[in-house]
Chain A
Amino acid sequence: MTTHGRIEELLAVRALGGLDGSDVETLERELAAHGDCAECRRLEDEFMETAAMLADSLTPELVGAGMVEAILSASPRGVGTVVAVPEAAEPTAETRSDDLSEPRRRRSSWRTAVAVAAAFVVVVGGGALGLRLSTSVPIRSVALSQRIVQFQGDTGSLLMAYTPGEAGAVLFGAGLPKVGAGEVYEVWTITGKEATSAGCASSSNGILHTSVSANVGNADLMAITIERATCPSAPTQTPILTAPVSA
């Protein structure tokens, strides 16, 4: 077998993640000896492309609804925790240094909202047990500027935390009507008679934990519908939950 033939064989195995043992070093040695080899790069890229397409043969899986916000709220340099600190906490050196950047300001707002929502989950005994508001429960993390609204509907409990005048809100709920395969919860802001999608979230167990970037304080009403996973731009179903908003 020629050098190229050996390299091609090992590149094919490596693209699938199967290379091990002495062949790992063998491939590196062969590639190094081969110099700047455009053909080798082309072969490797093609095999990698082919391998990646195998992933598309699988049926997509639902991803935890809070994952994307957890990633976005994490420090871009890997310092700190994914979930926000309560508003009362001293800002870290990192958050101070980033205060002038618009994205960081938005994340900071999100962090506070997440903290509020998280506080609710703790004080009411966990989202899976059903969310309810109680005036006797101390909610130390909620600043005066923040609002909590409770959705109304036939089934389940849902709370939304937001700051009037600022974009973004966090929604926490449990016991909602379950979405079927290929369906999602879609969040709507309704102003007058116009409904605008604020985003979609998936869930497999009737628990909704998500965030939206819309300025919900401008809306008259919030609503949740169950829609197809294509996340339509206009509602096609009757809301399962609604909440009046008073900014």
Chain B
Amino acid sequence: MYGTATLIRSTPLGTIDVSQTGDRDLLQRLLTRDEEAFRGLFSRYAPTAKALALRVVRQQHLAEEIVQEAFMAVWRNPAAYEEQRGSVKTWLMGMVHHRAVDAVRREESQRRRAEAEGAVATLETEDHAEAVATELGAPQERAAIRAALNTLPEAQRAVLEMMYFDGLSQSEIAERNGLPLGTVKSRTLLGMRRLRVALEGIER
């Protein structure tokens, strides 16, 4: 039915295997416009970047735009990465998160303006049919990070999640939860300190 070929185990020839290459090596290769290195970096981090963007903006299309913008920035200017300031993953996720939070705040601002004008805001709803999650990445690491997050006192964890995953500012969290701003800040600091300790030992 499918022709005469018999599929057998073989060594890939058409592509370069970059799965074992370190992030910083891949980024270094981007300086010479190495497309395979970019593909390697993309396949390694784009699914997590998409998950992060989607969690913050809650819109498939916008999340894809954000991921594309962030990786476009990497492709265009890999020299922007400062090795002494942390891992490539931290740099990448920082870019994605920054863009996602910006998008959420722009949208919130537009929504408020629309409401002030008496208009009915129509926000795109999450497309669950398209939001197909996969088991890419490292499930053990994911479980360990979730477990570390769950070791935080509820009040601290909630502030961290609202800030990072919902894109809320410290002032918005204070306002929505009826908390003094100082309390939000101190819970953030305590939560981040505790989380940092809890995450020690997990591969970064």
Contact = CB atoms under 8 A, between A and B. Distances in A.
A223 interface: yes
Interface in A42-79: 45-64, 67-68, 70-72, 74, 76-78
Contact of A193 (B6, B67, B192): B6
Interface residues of A, number: 81
A56 B51 CA distance: 9
Interface string B140-176: 0110011001000000000010011101111111000
B195 interface: yes
B186 interface: yes
Nearest to A60: B47
B57 interface: no
Contacts of B49: 55
A215 interface: yes
Q: Which secondary structure characterizes the binding site on chain A?
A: mixed
Given A55-B97, A181-B134, A193 B5 contact: yes
Given A57-B145, A242-B2, A63 B46 contact: yes
Contact of B35 (A70, A106, A154): A106
Contacts of A181: 132-135
A77 B188 CA distance: 39
Given A76-B76, A195-B5, A204-B130, A59 B51 contact: yes
A79 B42 CA distance: 22
Interface in B1-36: 1-15, 33, 35-36
Interface stretch (A29-37, A88-96, A115-123, A227-235): A227-235
Contact of A50 (B72, B146, B167, B199): B199
Contacts of A212: 14-15
B136 A9 contact: no
A13 B35 contact: no
B89 interface: yes
B50 A61 contact: yes
Contact of B170 (A18, A46, A61, A153): A18
A-B pairs with the 10 shortest C-beta distances?
A214-B14, A60-B47, A234-B9, A18-B163, A20-B169, A58-B51, A52-B93, A61-B50, A52-B90, A235-B7
Interface of B: 1-15, 33, 35-36, 38-39, 42-43, 46-52, 54-55, 63-64, 67-68, 71-72, 75-76, 85-87, 89-90, 92-94, 96-98, 101, 130-138, 141-142, 145-146, 149, 160, 163-165, 167-173, 184-186, 188-189, 192-193, 195-196, 199, 202, 204
Given A21-B171, A63-B67, A103-B35, 14 more contacts: A12-B192, A56-B48, A57-B145, A63-B46, A71-B38, A71-B68, A106-B35, A194-B8, A194-B10, A196-B12, A197-B12, A215-B14, A221-B3, A238-B2
